[in-house]
Amino acid sequence: MATWNSRGLRGSTLEDLINRTNEKYQENGLALIQKIPTPITPIRIDKDERHITLAYFDQKSTVDYIGAVQGLPVCFDAKECAADTFALANIHEHQVTFMENFEKQGGVAFFLLFFSHKNQFYYLPYAHLRYFWDRAKEGGRKSFRYDELNPEYFLPKKQGILVPYLDMIQKDLDTREE
């Protein structure tokens, strides 16, 4: 069974940036996106420091965030990458299945990737993830490279918004209509 310990804080800076962005979007009436906590059962608690030092996950999590953008259901997961190659092992089968079913219900599913060594955010539409996922399932690469990504989905810097992903949702929707 999977357990959580201090390494569970990886990506917390990315999560904080996204949470602050979501707060800004909500303040401006643009979106309502909530962080979905992963249910855990504590095993060991440091009573002096009052924090959990060891726990196990109660169930598999689906995605990190879910909500609505101007009435459109949206779900996404955030991943950080410190290299030019992103291992698909960082994404789980149940997440892909959830996103597939979410899209079948008319929602938009995607990944927000942060290439920390380049200080760049990337919006990975579910359809693009599915291409890489299926390629791996068919015996191909079990990862994708930075240079394989569509340059149109790198998030531009935007004044006052830390992770400006809303424009990419529109781009994602526009390409579906073509």
46 strand-pairing partners: 51
Residue 87 lies in a domain: yes
Question: Residue 149 and residue 32: Cα distance in Å, rounded?
Answer: 28
- Is 172 part of any known ligand binding site? no
Predicted pLDDT of residue 61:
66
Predicted pLDDT of residue 36:
86
Predicted pLDDT of residue 176:
86
Residue 56 lies in a domain: no
Say which amino acid occupies 174: D
- Give the residues of the chain that fall short of pLDDT 70: 1-12, 38-43, 52, 54-61, 178
Predicted pLDDT of residue 7:
41
Predicted pLDDT of residue 52:
67
Predicted pLDDT of residue 55:
57
Instruction: For residue 97, give the CATH number of its domain.
Output: 3.40.1350.10
The total of structural domains in the chain comes to 1
* pTM, full prediction: 0.82
Burial string for 146-155 (b: 16+ CB within 10 Å, else e) reads: beebeeebbb
The count of C-alpha atoms lying within 13 angstroms of the C-alpha of 89, restricted to the half-sphere facing its C-beta, is 4
Residue 6 lies in a domain: no
Residue 114 lies in a domain: yes
Say which amino acid occupies 10: R
- What is the extent of the structural domain holding 166? 13-36+61-177
Predicted pLDDT of residue 110:
98
Residue 169 lies in a domain: yes
Question: Residue 45 and residue 15: Cα distance in Å, rounded?
Answer: 24
- Is 95 part of any known ligand binding site? yes
Residue 167 lies in a domain: yes
Predicted pLDDT of residue 5:
42
Residue 156 lies in a domain: yes
Radius of gyration of the chain (CA): 17
Predicted pLDDT of residue 42:
63
- Is 84 part of any known ligand binding site? no
Predicted pLDDT of residue 97:
95
Predicted pLDDT of residue 49:
77
Predicted pLDDT of residue 47:
77
Residue 45 lies in a domain: no
DSSP states of 65-97: EEEEETTEEEEEEEEEESSSEEEGGGS-HHHHH
- Is 58 part of any known ligand binding site? no
